[in-house]
Structure 1
Amino acid sequence: MTTTARVATDRDTEDPAQSEGTLRAWAVQSMVLTGRQVLVLFRDRATVLQILVVPALTMVMFKVVLGDAIGSATGSNSAYGTVPLVILVSAMFGSIASGVRLNQERATGLLGRLYVLPINRAADLTSRLGCEVVRIVITSVLLLIAGLGIGFRFTQGPLAVLGILGVALLFGLAFSTFVLTVSVSTRPSVTLVPLLSLFSSVLMFFNSGFSPVDAYPAWLQPIVENQPMTPAIEVMRAMASGGPITANLIKVIIWTVVVVVICAVPALRGYRKAATAR
């Protein structure tokens, strides 16, 4: 084979998407691995039940058990707080399930096998976040549809639906990044579910979804008002039923940026350590 033919052959076999250090490689490989993550997720019937059916039933339960009491105390339809609350709770607990799945792949050695493949080092992590985007959008849409059955309405027009989904995505991505960071940064022997579930439960019960902020003790009100779930719930409520949006939307964006920036580097370092550990 002549030198010219050899060079031509090399050029033909080189695929920029296979060069792990390029931006194109990261994008293409992240998309492929995202597809893998989505397939793995939806083939797990227990997880699908947990992230789709359980939140919808929880929403109905909250409405039946607490709806009248909350409505009497606040003077408004409790569905406008319950539906956003359950959407965010679903995003949180779905992220915990993803973190558990990552630890299982770490224990079986799959994480290590993925790491030694000639792919971009960040592709697997971003694919997990990509899977979270798909999951959050699907569950949020289904929960919004279920919410129509308990009195939730979009009085601000169809664009409100996109706004609500956008806020759910911002909150969900921030929480997913946090969970992934914790998952890859802790020892496999550490039980993640109780720790993360406890943290999620604290956020779930101390926010404005159940009752207004001023119904909490005075010393607790600043914490409830500024914890990540409350501004997200208030923005989603305002987008559906009307009300001020800007101040709480800024809080949601700040929380998202702060969490992602703080967790990005530890997530990459922890992933490398988890994938290469023996």
Structure 2
Amino acid sequence: MSVDAVHAADLQAERTHGEGSLRTWLANSRVLAWRQLLVYVRNVPTVLQSLIIPAVSLVLIKVVLGDAVGDATGQDSLYGTVPLMILVGAMGGSMVSAIRLNKERSTGLLARLYVLPINRAADLTSRVLAETVRILVVTLILLAVGSAMGFRFSEGVPAAIALIAVPVVFGSAYAVFVLAIAVNSPAGAPLVQYLGLLMNVLMFFNSGFSPIDAYPGWLQPIVANQPMTPGIDLMRSLAAGGPITMNLIKVAIWAAIFVGASIYPALVGYRKAATSR
């Protein structure tokens, strides 16, 4: 969708309510989110990478590990690896959005959007909304793959809906964090390398691959409280039963940290990125 189309779609709302109104912000965010989704789906390699690779990885983990985790824990390893790969897919896809934002900054698109009579926060909001939709789709696909392999919801429909909400909320909060990094990084910065390093550390030190008590004693508190582990444990409990309250609190805390620490830097960084050309 072109910038002119964005302008035309929201012109009436802007004239009626003003650029800074809540109604204009919501209208602008909706249209710009649609633009982000169109850009995403038209990039076939990116779509395949963000949707297919997590699903293939889930199958490969099951094939490689087999029942080793289940024999050690008494529970099917799918109840750890399915939540793990859902979070990996949710968080990993945010890197693509960050790279696109950084590229649009260097091409001048951010500057062009910034001078339009639209709400100043709408573009950033639209990117988070688009990430929320992508995360929901990835979650549903991976749950379908997991279900075909034996993953089951034994706690009922409300728990299943709550399980789906966990990666959507957590992943959207993480997307705010990643976008804040993107707008405050120099054009062409190696975001993939930096964020990929963070992802690799989190991916291999959590409760999805192995129970926490299987890690060395000094490492267990780190593994138990890193961002991904509470989400994995919460989704496991919502699917197969288990403690919920403490993991729900930890997920909420991490989501609040990501959003609270990122909103102001994201808004300030976006303004600087859009006006620096």
With over 3 angstroms needed to count, the CA separation of the structure-2 counterparts of 1:15 and 1:222, relative to structure 1, is same
CA distance in 2, matches of 1:103, 1:161: 36
Aligned position for 2:58 = 59
Aligned position for 2:49 = 50
Deviation string, structure 1 residues 220-261 (Cα, Å, up to 9, x no partner):
111100111000000100000011101100110111112101
Q: CA deviation at 1:23?
A: 1.0
**Counterpart code for 2:190:** T
1:201 aligns with 2:214: no
**Counterpart code for 2:180:** T
Aligned position for 2:163 = 164
Q: CA deviation at 1:32?
A: 0.7
Residues 211-230 of structure 1: matches in 2 within 5 Å? 211-230=210-229
**Counterpart code for 1:52:** L
Structure with greater Cα Rg: 1
Task: Provide the alpha-carbon RMSD of the alignment.
Answer: 1.3
Aligned position for 1:16 = 16
With over 3 angstroms needed to count, the CA separation of the structure-2 counterparts of 1:14 and 1:92, relative to structure 1, is closer
Aligned residue for 2:261, secondary structure, equals helix
CA distance in 1, matches of 2:123, 2:230: 31
Q: CA deviation at 1:69?
A: 1.7
Deviation string, structure 1 residues 166-214 (Cα, Å, up to 9, x no partner):
1101210121011101000011132110100000110111100000111
CA distance in 2, matches of 1:216, 1:68: 19
Q: Residues 14 and 24 of structure 2 are in contact (CA less than 8 Å); yes or no, is this contact kept in structure 1?
A: no
Q: Once the two structures are aligned, what percentage of the paired residues are identical? A: 58
Runs of 4+ in 1 over 6 A off after TM superposition: none
CA distance in 2, matches of 1:262, 1:14: 30
* Larger deviation, residues 138-147 vs 157-166: 157-166
Aligned position for 1:30 = 29
CA distance in 2, matches of 1:16, 1:264: 28
Aligned position for 2:189 = 190
Unmatched 5+ stretches in structure 1: 1-11
CA distance in 1, matches of 2:14, 2:232: 49
Q: Residues 51 and 90 of structure 1 are in contact (CA less than 8 Å); yes or no, is this contact kept in structure 2?
A: yes
Aligned position for 1:173 = 172
Q: CA deviation at 1:133?
A: 0.7
How many residues matched? 266
Q: CA deviation at 1:149?
A: 1.7
**Counterpart code for 1:214:** D
CA distance in 2, matches of 1:34, 1:16: 22
Aligned position for 2:8 = none
Aligned position for 2:7 = none
Q: CA deviation at 1:269?
A: 0.4
Q: CA deviation at 1:160?
A: 2.2
**Counterpart code for 1:244:** P
CA distance in 1, matches of 2:115, 2:160: 42
Aligned position for 1:77 = 76
Q: Residues 170 and 252 of structure 1 are in contact (CA less than 8 Å); yes or no, is this contact kept in structure 2?
A: no
Q: Residues 16 and 22 of structure 1 are in contact (CA less than 8 Å); yes or no, is this contact kept in structure 2?
A: no
1:259 aligns with 2:220: no
Aligned residue for 1:141, secondary structure, equals helix
Q: Residues 13 and 24 of structure 2 are in contact (CA less than 8 Å); yes or no, is this contact kept in structure 1?
A: no
Q: CA deviation at 1:26?
A: 0.5
CA distance in 2, matches of 1:67, 1:251: 30
**Counterpart code for 1:213:** I
Unmatched 5+ stretches in structure 2: 1-11
Q: Residues 102 and 188 of structure 2 are in contact (CA less than 8 Å); yes or no, is this contact kept in structure 1?
A: no
Q: Residues 16 and 24 of structure 1 are in contact (CA less than 8 Å); yes or no, is this contact kept in structure 2?
A: no
Q: Residues 74 and 212 of structure 1 are in contact (CA less than 8 Å); yes or no, is this contact kept in structure 2?
A: yes
Q: CA deviation at 1:13?
A: 9.8
Aligned residue for 2:152, secondary structure, equals coil
